[in-house]
């Protein structure tokens, strides 16, 4: 724990942590030492972790990366972090993120962008100074794990925010099946899509962390009431005979040769490990991204209505209550969050509900059905690229056109729309020296298969 606290202090330029809690960490570590000395303690006893600042932590400021929550200190602890402390984990602090988890590059945080520890290599072999993004929204989590500023981190994934940052930083991230982890005490973005999960340095670490984070919780009515398997047992288990679907619709027009080659390499590795490879079709794939960017903002606009300047954080003074709301929300929310609230409010409005929101929900059902049919035909898991490109430099994408940024999520949003588990593992390097990841999509509540297959690739 002390070594991690020192490393965090030396790595301020990466801007991974919004709040550091070294005293709390050392007190927890001492208590863990005492337990371990008596050969007691939980599965995570004494392991120092970083917590995405979307998880409410009792007595420790929780901001969701937003000015509007600055100074908010929860009086309660999220269920997932409660589970981690129960098993002996130590909290190093709260990790930076895109504001309200909206973004793919960690450039929208009120607390400034997170910088990836990775650097690009030029054609001349020289390392460039350009600051590389760690992905988003869990960019503080992915950068901190990659830079050894924690052993593992919590993250959340609404449209790819665990998996895309993992791919961008050469780390492992799993978004479990919707309902596997409790959402209680995690600041809501789009409640029907949000899931908690870990980012870690290896498949085994991710399996160990997820087992601790997951489990039924009466406080979240969408949480799944079944025992959590010992995921670590699946790491290294044989994948012989597993049927791996390769969806032809993911071979996008204009896919880079590098990403196509990475995907082929993944297929070759799984075949060598004894898996059977089968081409499949998920015909509604191309509608997933536009439908996601209706459903997610719709739910966000509703969830974010609670930030009124009265109940939490920032409060501006106004001449009357409406003026107070207006001033607080105008100043408290950043540009991307305001854009999402406007899109969401529009697609839910009486005149447009049927044309946009209802249609997007129907598309969602069709996307889910595509996966159901593939699984019913015997497919055990699906292999795809994690992202359409390697990480990019700060300011390079999306500054004039937000859709350019949204396109990053093209391979990940389908999984949230269908509520399925998705694992991203590091699988190669781009020609400019940055990590590339592959994604494995599983059957509902069969995360074990993903851990076995992920280990075979990793
Ligand atoms: N990049 C996506 C978005 O901005 C996904 C974010 C997430 O998964 N939290 O909505």
Mean of the per-residue pLDDT values for the chain? 97
Select from 315, 348, 381 the last residue of a domain: 348
Number of structural domains found in the chain:
2
Q: Does the pLDDT of residue 254 top 90, yes or no?
A: no
336 and 207 part of one domain: no
Q: What is the pLDDT of residues 343-401, one digit of tens each?
A: 999 999 999 999 999 999 999 999 999 999 999 999 999 999 999 999 999 999 988 88
Select from 300, 324, 348 the last residue of a domain: 348
159 Cβ inside 6 Å of ligand 1:
yes
pLDDT at residue number 223 = 97
pLDDT at residue number 452 = 98
228 and 321 part of one domain: no
Which token pair is 444?
A: 């509902």
Residue 281 lies in a domain: no
226 and 294 part of one domain: no
Residue 267 lies in a domain: no
Residue 326 lies in a domain: yes
pLDDT at residue number 446 = 98
pLDDT at residue number 239 = 98
Cite the active site residues: 52, 137, 161
As a whole number, mean pLDDT of residues 13-36 equals: 98
What's the rounded Cα separation, in Å, for the pair 196 and 311? 25
300 and 159 part of one domain: no
Q: Does the pLDDT of residue 64 top 90, yes or no?
A: yes
Residue 260 lies in a domain: no
Residue 341 lies in a domain: yes
End-to-end CA gap in the chain: 27
Select from 166, 199, 234 the last residue of a domain: 234
Domain interval for residue 151: 2-234
Residue 24 lies in a domain: yes
Which of the four pLDDT bands, split at 50, 70 and 90, describes residue 437?
A: very high
Measure the CA angle with vertex 63, ends 183 and 328; round to 5°: 115
CATH no. for residue 80? Answer: 3.90.1300.10
230 and 298 part of one domain: no
Alpha carbon of 240 to ligand 1 centroid (Å): 34
pLDDT at residue number 400 = 81
Alpha carbon of 192 to ligand 1 centroid (Å): 13
73 and 167 part of one domain: yes
- Helix H, strand E, coil C: the string for 93-104 is EEECCCHHHCCC
Residue 384 lies in a domain: no
193 Cβ inside 6 Å of ligand 1:
no
As a whole number, mean pLDDT of residues 429-438 equals: 97
pLDDT at residue number 399 = 82
b/e 349-382 (16+ beta carbons within 10 angstroms → b): eeeeeeebbebbeebbebbbebbeebbeeebbbb
182 Cβ inside 6 Å of ligand 1:
no
CA-to-CA separations, 158 to 28, 48, 250, 370, 418, in angstroms, rounded:
31, 25, 20, 20, 11
pLDDT at residue number 418 = 98
Which of the four pLDDT bands, split at 50, 70 and 90, describes residue 253?
A: confident
323 and 184 part of one domain: no
189 and 323 part of one domain: no
111 and 8 part of one domain: yes
Lateral strand order in the sheet of 48-52: 17-20, 90-95, 48-52, 152-157, 195-200, 172-175, 422-429, 435-442, 381-385, 243-247, 276-280
29 and 150 part of one domain: yes
Residue 105 lies in a domain: yes
Alpha carbon of 161 to ligand 1 centroid (Å): 5
58 and 197 part of one domain: yes
Which of the four pLDDT bands, split at 50, 70 and 90, describes residue 298?
A: very high
422 Cβ inside 6 Å of ligand 1:
no
Q: Does the pLDDT of residue 123 top 90, yes or no?
A: no
H/E segment holding residue 426: strand 422-429
Q: What is the pLDDT of residues 396-428, one digit of tens each?
A: 998 888 998 999 999 999 999 999 999 999 999
Identify which of 100, 136, 391 to mutate to test ligand 1's pocket (most ligand atoms within 8 A of the CB).
Answer: 136
114 and 225 part of one domain: yes
């Amino acid at each position: 724990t002390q070594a991690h606290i020192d490393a965090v202090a030396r790595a301020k330029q990466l801007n991974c942590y919004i709040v550091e809690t070294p005293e709390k960490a050392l007190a927890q570590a001492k208590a863990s030492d005492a337990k371990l000395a008596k050969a007691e303690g939980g599965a995570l006893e004494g392991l120092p972790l970083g917590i995405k600042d979307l998880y409410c932590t009792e007595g420790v400021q929780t901001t969701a990366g937003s000015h509007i929550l600055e100074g908010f200190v929860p009086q309660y602890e999220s269920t997932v972090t409660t589970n981690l402390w129960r098993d002996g984990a130590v909290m190093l602090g709260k990790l930076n993120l895109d504001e309200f988890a909206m973004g793919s590059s960690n450039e929208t945080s009120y607390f400034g962008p997170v910088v990836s520890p990775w650097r690009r290599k030029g054609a001349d072999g020289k390392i460039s100074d350009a600051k590389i993004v760690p992905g988003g929204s869990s960019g503080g989590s992915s950068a901190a794990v990659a830079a050894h500023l924690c052993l593992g981190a919590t993250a959340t994934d609404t449209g790819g925010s665990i998996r895309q940052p993992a791919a961008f930083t050469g780390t492992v991230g799993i978004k479990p099946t919707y309902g596997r982890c409790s959402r209680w005490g995690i600041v809501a973005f789009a409640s029907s899509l949000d899931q908690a999960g870990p980012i870690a340095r290896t498949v085994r670490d991710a399996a160990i962390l997820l087992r601790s984070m997951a489990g039924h919780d009466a406080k979240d009515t969408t949480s799944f009431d079944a025992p959590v398997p010992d995921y670590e047992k699946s790491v290294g288990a044989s994948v012989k005979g597993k049927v791996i679907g390769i969806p032809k619709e993911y071979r996008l027009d204009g896919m880079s040769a590098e990403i196509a080659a990475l995907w082929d390499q993944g297929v070759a590795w799984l075949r060598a490990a004894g898996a059977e490879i089968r081409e499949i079709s998920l015909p509604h794939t191309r509608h997933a991204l536009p439908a996601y960017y209706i459903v997610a903002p719709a739910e966000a606009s509703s969830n974010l209505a609670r930030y009124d300047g009265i109940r939490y954080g920032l409060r501006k003074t106004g001449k009357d209550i409406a003026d107070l709301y207006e001033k607080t929300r105008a100043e408290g929310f950043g540009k991307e969050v305001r854009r999402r609230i406007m899109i969401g409010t529009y697609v839910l409005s009486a005149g447009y509900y049927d044309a946009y929101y209802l249609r997007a929900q129907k598309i969602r059902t069709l996307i889910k059905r595509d996966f159901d049919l593939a699984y019913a035909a015997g497919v055990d898991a699906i292999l795809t690229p994690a992202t359409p490109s390697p990480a990019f430099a700060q300011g390079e994408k999306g500054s004039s056109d937000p859709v350019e940024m949204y396109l990053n999520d093209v391979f990940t949003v389908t999984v949230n729309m269908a509520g399925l588990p998705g694992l991203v593992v590091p699988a190669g390097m781009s020609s400019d020296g940055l990590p590339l990841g592959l994604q494995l999509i599983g059957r509902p509540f069969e995360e074990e298969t993903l851990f076995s297959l992920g280990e075979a690739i990793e």
